[in-house]
Chains A and B, each alone.
Chain A
């Protein structure tokens, strides 16, 4: 089965915006640090999708893929470091509530 690919910019833009809103809302509506990280991940998915869509529509897929590979590498490093910070925070405060960050020094 071959999938016919749409050439409409607005179709890609619509789903990019939907994923972006979903990620932002997920980050803003929660007090749990892990959920904030998950929201950030959804935001990164929307950016990755739009980069690929831009590469597809402009006919520069190789350049888009090179940029996406860079984005994915940075994404992994961010997730791993933030996960370490969250675990350290949990050991100190025995909670994942973002409200406890107000008590941090520095």
Chain B
């Protein structure tokens, strides 16, 4: 239990580093680290398929997208950087204190919770659930993927027209 709790603490620390660090590249690395740690957490809990998806898609693909966005934008001047860093520091510094206080306060709560779900039985293999019980989810996923691809196409076509 100690190892698992430590893993969760490191996960929150990685997310905190992603929120607080000064450069976008470091923030992206922090997010990738948090995703990788979350996939380890999921794997420990027995969610192997979700862990593999989290590691490959969130820690891999999304990090690549975010690094690409950071590299395609104009770097700030030194004056802009200093001014932005000061104003950001003023807004972000209470965050670690809030997280520590929240974590300590919640660690004292031990109220009993009844989380028995009133759902139909049939919880076996994830593939069976996905293909037999959640077909509508799969249909929605396909629609969302197509909508996303179309959205990106429309965005870049408009930008190419603007460049002409």
Using a CB–CB cutoff of 8 Å, the interface residues on chain A facing chain B are 1, 3-6, 8-11, 13-15, 17-19, 21-23, 25-26, 28-32, 34-35, 37-39, 41-42, 45, 48-49, 52-70, 72-81, 83-88, 90-91, 94, 96
Q: Are A45 and B15 in contact (CB under 8 A)?
A: yes
Closest approach, in angstroms, between the C-beta of B110 and any C-beta of chain A? 6
By Cβ-Cβ distance, the 10 closest A-B pairs, closest first, are: A77-B148, A26-B19, A29-B91, A14-B106, A84-B155, A68-B50, A62-B126, A62-B129, A65-B126, A65-B50
Bound CA span A95–B50, Å: 36
Instruction: From known contacts A14-B106, A15-B12, infer whether A62 and B125 are also in contact, taking CB-CB under 8 Å.
Output: yes
Q: Report yes or no: B129 in contact with A42, Cβ–Cβ below 8 A.
A: no
Please list 24 pairs of residues, one from A and one from B, whose beta carbons are closer than 8 Å in the complex, sorted by A's number.
Answer: A4-B4, A5-B44, A6-B5, A9-B115, A10-B110, A14-B109, A15-B11, A17-B106, A19-B15, A21-B102, A23-B19, A38-B18, A42-B31, A45-B34, A45-B38, A49-B38, A66-B137, A68-B54, A76-B57, A77-B148, A79-B62, A81-B148, A88-B159, A94-B74
CB-defined contacts of B106 to chain A, threshold 8 Å: 10, 13-14, 17
* Size band of the interface chain B makes with A: 35 or more
The majority secondary structure among interface residues of chain B is helix
**When A38-B27, A56-B46 are in contact, do A11 and B123 touch as well, CB less than 8 Å?**
no
